[in-house]
Structure 1
Amino acid sequence: MTGIPGIPPLADLVWARGYTDPAWARRHMTAARELVPSRCVRRATGTPTPLTAAPPGALDGLALAGPDGRRLPLAELLARAETDALLVMHRGTLVHEQYLHGYEPHVPHFNASAAKSYLGLLAATLAHEGLLDRGTRVTKYVPELAGTAFGEARVDDLLHMGTRMSYAGRPYDKALEAQRYFAVLAPRLRPYGYSGPATIREHLSTARSTGAPGVEFRYENGNVEALAEVLRRVTGTTTSALLSEMIWSRIGTEEDAYYLLDADGTEAASGGFGATARDLVRLGETLRCGGATGGRQVVPEAVASTIVSGVQDGHPRRVRFPGAPASTPATLSYHDLWWIPNDPYGSFMASGIHGQRLFVSPGLDLVIVHYASQIVSPAVPAVPLVQAFLAIGTHLQG
C-alpha cells in the first residue's frame, strides 16, 4: 500500500533512523572526528585570549520556563535539555561555566547546523570585501552546478535558504533528505544496497529546481554546501583553511577546531564542524563587540552589525517561530545563515539540531554557548532554550 498522506513509504523508513538515546547521541557529538575523516581548523599561534571568570553563583536561584511552561531550577532545565556544556558571558566576563555528563572543556563538540552560521560569516565578509557578488548566479563560480537547483540560484538565495528543489526526482522531505545527506558523509549510515551519491558534489548534482529561487524559505543543507563550494572557488583554498585564516586563528582560540570530510576530502560545511565551548564563546564575544577582539577588527563591523539589521519584513527569510501557535506574534528571521529571534535586544543565534547554540545578544551584553545531546522526537518536548537565554540575560542585567 502506498501514497498514504503523511506516512513515508516503507522503502524510506531506513532513512528515518535517528538517535533514540542521549548517551548514543553524546558519543557522536563528542567523538565525531574519530568516526569519519576530518580536517583541522588551526587555532591561534600566540597566547589564547584570556577568559575572565567571575566568582561562581551568578545564576544561583534562577528559575526558567520548561517545556510545559512550569518554572524549573537551572539544573533541572539543563537536565531536560541533555546539556553537555553551558557557558554564559556577560559584559565580557565569564559568569557561568559548566560541563556535564563527563564532557571536558578541551574536547571539541559537534556543532551540527550551527556550523552554517560560521560559513555565513565567511561569505558575508568576502562579499563586503568585494570578492563575492551576492547577486551573481552560482554557475558563474561553479559551472558544474549548471542545471541544478543551486546553480540556477543567486549567491544571496543560498545565504537565505531561498531555493526549492528535489533530489533525484524524490518528493522533498526535509527530515529524510537530512538522513540521506548524512549517508553521503558516513558510509556506516548507508543502508544495505545503497547506490546513491558518495560525495557532497555528487549529492548536489542530483538537485533539480521545483520553483523559482528567492521566493520561499526552505531550510536545506544543500544551500550551504553549494555556497561552500562557491567560497572554495573564489578563494582557492579549503573551507578549513579559510575559516582558520579569516576567523579562528585571529580570535585567540585555545584549541584547533575541525570539519568532517566526505570521500573526496571536501568539508561538510553545513553541519560537520566541531569546536570547544570556550573557543565558541570567544567567537560570540567577538561578534557582540562588533567583530573586534584584542584591539583588532576580525569580522568587519558592517558584517557583524547587519546580521540583525539586514532582515527585512515581508522577505521570505522571515519565518514563524517553530511550534509557535498561529495566534502568537513569535517569529524567527533568517539572515546570512543566522537565526534572528526578533527580540528587543538585537539577538542572533547559530543553532544545531541536538541543542547546540551560540546565542549573541548585544542589547543584553550577553553571549551564551550551549552544547547538548538532545533527542529529536515528538515524544520528547523541546526545551525553550531561546526563552531561557533571554531570561538569563535579563536576570544578569538586573
Structure 2
Amino acid sequence: MPQTAPLSDLLWTRGYTDPAWIHRFTSQGRELSPSRRVWRGETPARHLPRGEADLDALDLVTTDAGALKLPDLFAAARTDAFLVMHRGQVVYDRYLHGADAHTPHFNASAAKSYLGLVAATLAHQGLLDRTAPACAYVPELAGTAFGDARVQDLLHMGTQVSYAGRRFDKAIEAQRYYAVVAPQLRPFGYSGPTGIHEHLLTARATAAPGEEFRYENGNVEALAEVLRRVTGLSTSDLLSDLLWARIGAEEDAYYILDGDGIEAACGGFSATARDVARLGEMLRCGGAVGGRQVVPEEVAGTITRGVPDGYPRRVRFPAAPPDSPATLCYHDLWWILNDPYGSYMASGIHGQRLFVSPGLDLVVVHFGSQVMSPAVPPVPLVQAFVRIGVHLNS
C-alpha cells in the first residue's frame, strides 16, 4: 500500500487550502518577503494592438452541470486576471478581485518555464553544456542529488531526491520549500534550512538521474545557481537582460528573495498579465518581436519537439490523479500538450498559466487564486483555452 504522510505533516498543507491566504500570496506575494526587480529596460513599452471578441457567451466545456462559460470558469478558478491574444491583438481581458492591468501577480511555477527558456538560450550560444553535471558549475553541490545530475536532467525534472532523509512527498516538500524562503511561512519550532542553497545541500539521490520524471522545485533552484555561475549575473538581471528588457514590457517584474538574497527561481516571480502575454507572443512569433530576434528561432521552435532521447515522452501533470493517463510531454521546463495545434504552456499552482498555441495563433494568460484540495474539482483551463482558439479561428 502507498505510504501516507504522517499527521505531523498536515500543518504543511494549509498554504493550499486557505482561500484568504492563497489570494494574499498570489496577489501580494512580493510584498510579503524581500524582492528584487527584473528591470523592464529603457526602451518604450511595446504597444499591444486591440481587437474585440465577445467570448462571455461561448460554451467552453460541457459538464454534468451543463455548459461552462467564461464567468463560470472565472468563479471556479478564482480568476484574478485573464487575457487572450489572437493574431497579435488583445481580443479579450478581464481583471477581478482588485487586480488591474498593471498589477503584478504571482506566476508561481510558470516562472520555471521562463528560466528554462533562458537556459536553452545560453546552451544554444555555447555558454552552457547540457551534458555536464551541475557540480561542474557549482562545486559545492557535488555529492547531492542535484549536483551529480546533468544540466539536462535538471531541465527535465529527471532527479529522484530525498531531503534530509525524509520520505518524499511532493506537496509537503513544496510547502517546506516556501518555509525555507520566507520566515513568516515557518511553523512554530521550525529548525530546517533557512536559505535555498542550504536546502539544496540536504538533497540525496534515491535513484539514478535521468530515469524517471518527478516534478520537484530543487531541480530549478539548482539550475538557477548554475546559470548564475555561468553568467556572473543574478537571476533577476539575467532574466532582464535576455527576456524582460527585450520584449517591450510595460512594468518591472519581481522575484522574492530568501534570507541570503537569492531569488526563488522556481516560483517566486511576479509580473503583469500584459507583460506575460508579450512573452508568449514573442514565442508564438518564433522568438521575435517586431522582426527583431529575442531568443533564437531554433530555441523557440524546439520547445515542442526537442524532448531528448531517454526522457519520457508522456508525463503526468502534477495535479492529475495518480491513475490518470499521462498525455503531456515536458521539455526544458515547458509543458507540451500534444494537441493538433503545437500548443505548450507554462503552469503554476493556483491557476497560473501562459498558454501558447502557434497553430491557433493564440496566447492566453490566466492568473488565479484557486484552492488546491481533493475536495475542489480541477478547472478545465486548457480545454477552455483550446475552445476559445478554435472559436476565434472559425
Aligned equivalent of 1:291 = 287
Identify if the C-alpha distance between structure 1 residues 67 and 220 changes in structure 2 by more than 3 Å, giving closer, same or farther. farther
Paired positions, count: 393
- Paired AA for residue 297 in structure 2: E
Measured after TM superposition, the shift of residue 44 of structure 1 is 3.0
Find the aligned partners of 2:296 and 2:65 in 1 and give their Cα distance: 40
Find the aligned partners of 1:223 and 1:158 in 2 and give their Cα distance: 5
Q: Is the aligned partner of 1:26 residue 2:23?
A: yes
Identify if the C-alpha distance between structure 1 residues 66 and 8 changes in structure 2 by more than 3 Å, giving closer, same or farther. farther
Aligned equivalent of 1:39 = 36
- Paired AA for residue 115 in structure 2: L
Identify if the C-alpha distance between structure 1 residues 32 and 66 changes in structure 2 by more than 3 Å, giving closer, same or farther. farther
Find the aligned partners of 2:2 and 2:337 in 1 and give their Cα distance: 32
Aligned equivalent of 2:8 = 11
Measured after TM superposition, the shift of residue 69 of structure 1 is 7.4
8 Å CA contact 2:16, 2:373 repeated in 1? no
Identify if the C-alpha distance between structure 1 residues 150 and 338 changes in structure 2 by more than 3 Å, giving closer, same or farther. same
Aligned equivalent of 1:262 = 258
Find the aligned partners of 1:54 and 1:128 in 2 and give their Cα distance: 36
Q: Please, which runs of 5 or more residues in structure 2 have no aligned partner?
A: none
Q: Tell me the alpha carbon deviations over residues 185-244 of structure 1, each in whole angstroms, 9 at most, x when there is no partner.
A: 111111111111000000000000100000000000000000000000000010000000
8 Å CA contact 1:88, 1:95 repeated in 2? yes
Q: Tell me the alpha carbon deviations over residues 16-48 of structure 1, each in whole angstroms, 9 at most, x when there is no partner.
A: 222434343122211111110000000131211
Q: Is the aligned partner of 1:373 residue 2:369?
A: yes
Does the residue aligned with 1:253 lie in a helix, a strand or coil? coil
Find the aligned partners of 2:315 and 2:4 in 1 and give their Cα distance: 25
Find the aligned partners of 1:192 and 1:166 in 2 and give their Cα distance: 23
Aligned equivalent of 1:152 = 148
Aligned equivalent of 1:394 = 390
Aligned equivalent of 1:58 = 54
More displaced 10-residue stretch of structure 1: 346-355 or 26-35: 26-35
With normalisation by structure 1, the TM-score equals: 0.95
Aligned equivalent of 2:379 = 383
Does the residue aligned with 2:354 lie in a helix, a strand or coil? strand
Residues 70-85 of structure 1 mapped to structure 2, 5 A cutoff: 70-85=66-81
Find the aligned partners of 2:184 and 2:30 in 1 and give their Cα distance: 14
Aligned equivalent of 1:210 = 206
With normalisation by structure 2, the TM-score equals: 0.96
Find the aligned partners of 1:214 and 1:294 in 2 and give their Cα distance: 38
- Paired AA for residue 364 in structure 1: L
More displaced 10-residue stretch of structure 1: 212-221 or 69-78: 69-78
Does the residue aligned with 2:80 lie in a helix, a strand or coil? strand
Aligned equivalent of 1:110 = 106
Identify if the C-alpha distance between structure 1 residues 246 and 191 changes in structure 2 by more than 3 Å, giving closer, same or farther. same
- Paired AA for residue 7 in structure 2: L
Identify if the C-alpha distance between structure 1 residues 246 and 68 changes in structure 2 by more than 3 Å, giving closer, same or farther. farther
Find the aligned partners of 2:30 and 2:253 in 1 and give their Cα distance: 10
Measured after TM superposition, the shift of residue 306 of structure 1 is 0.3
Does the residue aligned with 2:270 lie in a helix, a strand or coil? strand
Find the aligned partners of 2:83 and 2:189 in 1 and give their Cα distance: 44
More displaced 10-residue stretch of structure 1: 36-45 or 306-315: 306-315
Find the aligned partners of 1:314 and 1:147 in 2 and give their Cα distance: 23
Alignment RMSD: 1.8
Residues 318-397 of structure 1 mapped to structure 2, 5 A cutoff: 318-320=314-316, 323=320, 331-397=327-393
Q: Please, which runs of 5 or more residues in structure 1 have no aligned partner?
A: none
Measured after TM superposition, the shift of residue 272 of structure 1 is 0.3
Find the aligned partners of 1:132 and 1:5 in 2 and give their Cα distance: 39
Q: Is the aligned partner of 1:316 residue 2:327?
A: no
Does the residue aligned with 2:315 lie in a helix, a strand or coil? strand
- Paired AA for residue 381 in structure 1: P
Q: Is the aligned partner of 1:134 residue 2:100?
A: no
Q: Tell me the alpha carbon deviations over residues 284-341 of structure 1, each in whole angstroms, 9 at most, x when there is no partner.
A: 000000000022100110000000011368732521355379686x601100000011
Measured after TM superposition, the shift of residue 76 of structure 1 is 1.2
- Paired AA for residue 332 in structure 1: L
Does the residue aligned with 1:247 lie in a helix, a strand or coil? helix
Find the aligned partners of 2:10 and 2:16 in 1 and give their Cα distance: 14
Find the aligned partners of 1:124 and 1:113 in 2 and give their Cα distance: 17
Find the aligned partners of 2:199 and 2:152 in 1 and give their Cα distance: 21
- Paired AA for residue 397 in structure 1: N
Measured after TM superposition, the shift of residue 58 of structure 1 is 3.2
Does the residue aligned with 1:183 lie in a helix, a strand or coil? helix
Identify if the C-alpha distance between structure 1 residues 133 and 314 changes in structure 2 by more than 3 Å, giving closer, same or farther. closer
8 Å CA contact 1:67, 1:383 repeated in 2? no
8 Å CA contact 1:86, 1:99 repeated in 2? yes
Identity across matched positions, percent: 69
Identify if the C-alpha distance between structure 1 residues 348 and 69 changes in structure 2 by more than 3 Å, giving closer, same or farther. farther
Identify if the C-alpha distance between structure 1 residues 143 and 287 changes in structure 2 by more than 3 Å, giving closer, same or farther. same
More displaced 10-residue stretch of structure 1: 366-375 or 45-54: 45-54
8 Å CA contact 1:44, 1:251 repeated in 2? no
8 Å CA contact 1:217, 1:317 repeated in 2? no
Does the residue aligned with 2:366 lie in a helix, a strand or coil? strand
